[in-house]
């Protein structure tokens, strides 16, 4: 959420952000409601002041004027009640509109109409080439009895799956390797809830805009599509000291996503499923743009280090305006090479938000001068499964159909080759 004062003073900048992010929102509507809100608020405060004055006069008056003051008090109360209800309705509309205002993207974010307009920043490794016809993820995993899609669908419905044997062990190995690596880098390991109240979803910007992609329970809670939601909820409505910054977490959770609007895309395999698992980097830092940029690059490098250790070819793209979310200032995607498709596929996203999320969640710190400030927040996928399994097994396959295990995963996997 942006500060309303910032919105009023930088309306043209916010309008440009709306256009760049391809968001349908009428800023003039918000500004009109904001002006109405201030007028009514002034009227309410005036009536409350007048009511206090008349109440004091009633106590101090003993003569015939007292009856007149009592009548005046009744009228004030009725007017105040009417205005307070008008203020509540206006505030409710104002708050709904405020939640729809996008954050202003960094000046380096390119224009674009879709993810096709994202710009490659750098590339690591060369696309894997084979002297044989490579198998795809489904063929490889079924060959080695690593997955059961048929029974997974029987259990969970469309896009259901069951990882088994080395498929299950490979997933566990990835989690352990990533958590171990990130903990050594000073990140606090967390396992956070997937079942989360509405407030952290609003705070992180997933509500109200992305509700169609969330699973909602009968108890008015939601299933999170990323560990970011639960992690950011940790410090909602709390204040800490600047010396405690930065706060760096590596969070694990099961994740759920309806994949609304993706009908016909990746209907088979492990790339686009409804239930998956993520290890997420989350950082809270001081309210400083340069500090946010520094951590954004650091988090992205952490993810790249993991990919390089796994020896998976990838490239990093800078997301265009149409492919960054409501609250993001800037976003990178890391995309891994998938041999069977002959292209890069997204495996990570890395974003920073300034105080967009923390203002919604009321996460503040007291700076060296004693002033309360909203912290800045960032997040980045460390690795997500089962999606990460796809580039690993496809890039590490051999002519006889066996799959080499990446060296860094061998201690966690307990074997060097799948299929021997």
Residues tagged active-site: 257, 272, 346, 349, 387
> Can you tell me the distance from the alpha carbon of 303 to that of 347, in angstroms, rounded to the nearest whole number?
10
Work out the angle between the directed axes of helices 166-184 and 289-310 (0-180°, nearest 10).
140
Radius of gyration of the chain (CA): 27
> Can you tell me the distance from the alpha carbon of 132 to that of 134, in angstroms, rounded to the nearest whole number?
6
> Can you tell me the distance from the alpha carbon of 405 to that of 409, in angstroms, rounded to the nearest whole number?
7
Query: Is 196 within 8 Å of 255 (Cβ atoms)?
Result: no
> Can you tell me the distance from the alpha carbon of 279 to that of 382, in angstroms, rounded to the nearest whole number?
5
Query: Is 205 within 8 Å of 325 (Cβ atoms)?
Result: yes
Among 13, 10, 71, 78, smallest CA distance to 47 is for 78
Torsional class of 253: left (φ above 0), alpha (ψ -120 to 50), beta (otherwise): beta
Question: How would DSSP label each residue in 170-181?
Answer: HHHHHHHHHHHH
Helix (H, G, I), strand (E, B) or coil at 385: strand
Number of H helices, E strands in the chain: 13, 18
> Can you tell me the distance from the alpha carbon of 136 to that of 383, in angstroms, rounded to the nearest whole number?
20
């Amino acid at each position: 959420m942006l500060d309303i004062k910032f919105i009023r003073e930088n309306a043209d900048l916010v309008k440009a952000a709306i256009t760049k992010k391809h968001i349908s929102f009428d800023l003039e509507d918000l500004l009109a409601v904001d002006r109405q809100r201030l007028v009514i608020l002034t009227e309410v405060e005036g009536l409350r002041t007048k009511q206090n004055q008349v109440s004091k006069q009633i106590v101090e008056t003993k003569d015939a004027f007292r009856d007149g003051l009592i009548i005046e008090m009744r009228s004030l109360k009725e007017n105040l009640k009417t205005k307070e209800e008008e203020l509540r309705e206006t505030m409710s509309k104002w708050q709904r509109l405020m939640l729809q205002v996008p954050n202003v993207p960094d000046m380096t974010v390119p224009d674009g109409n879709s993810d096709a307009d994202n710009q490659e920043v750098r590339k690591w490794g060369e696309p894997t080439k084979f002297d044989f016809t490579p198998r795809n993820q489904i063929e490889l995993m079924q060959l080695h009895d690593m997955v059961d899609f048929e029974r997974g669908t029987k259990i969970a419905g469309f896009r259901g799956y069951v990882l088994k044997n080395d498929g299950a062990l490979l997933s566990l190995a990835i989690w352990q390797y990533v958590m171990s690596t990130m903990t050594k880098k000073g990140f606090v390991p967390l396992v956070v809830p997937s079942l989360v109240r509405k407030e952290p979803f609003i705070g992180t910007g997933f509500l109200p805009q992305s509700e169609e992609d969330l699973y909602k329970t009968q108890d008015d809670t939601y299933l999170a599509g990323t560990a970011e939601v639960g992690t950011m909820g940790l410090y909602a409505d709390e204040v800490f000291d600047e010396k405690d910054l930065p706060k760096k977490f590596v969070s694990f959770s099961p994740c759920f996503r309806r994949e609304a609007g993706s009908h016909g895309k990746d209907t088979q395999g492990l790339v686009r499923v409804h239930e998956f698992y993520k290890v997420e980097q989350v950082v809270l830092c001081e309210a400083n743009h340069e500090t946010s940029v520094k951590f954004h690059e650091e988090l992205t490098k952490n993810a790249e280090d993991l990919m390089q250790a796994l020896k998976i070819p990838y490239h990093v793209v800078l997301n265009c305006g149409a492919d960054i979310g409501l609250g993001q200032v800037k976003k990178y995607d890391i995309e891994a090479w998938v041999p069977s498709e002959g292209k890069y596929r997204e495996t990570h996203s890395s974003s920073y938000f300034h105080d967009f999320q923390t203002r919604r969640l009321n996460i503040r710190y007291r700076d060296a001068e004693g002033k309360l400030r909203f912290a800045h927040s960032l997040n980045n996928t460390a690795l997500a499964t089962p999606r990460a399994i796809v580039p690993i097994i496809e890039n590490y396959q051999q002519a006889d159909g066996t799959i080499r295990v990446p060296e860094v995963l061998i201690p966690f996997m307990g074997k060097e080759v799948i299929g021997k």
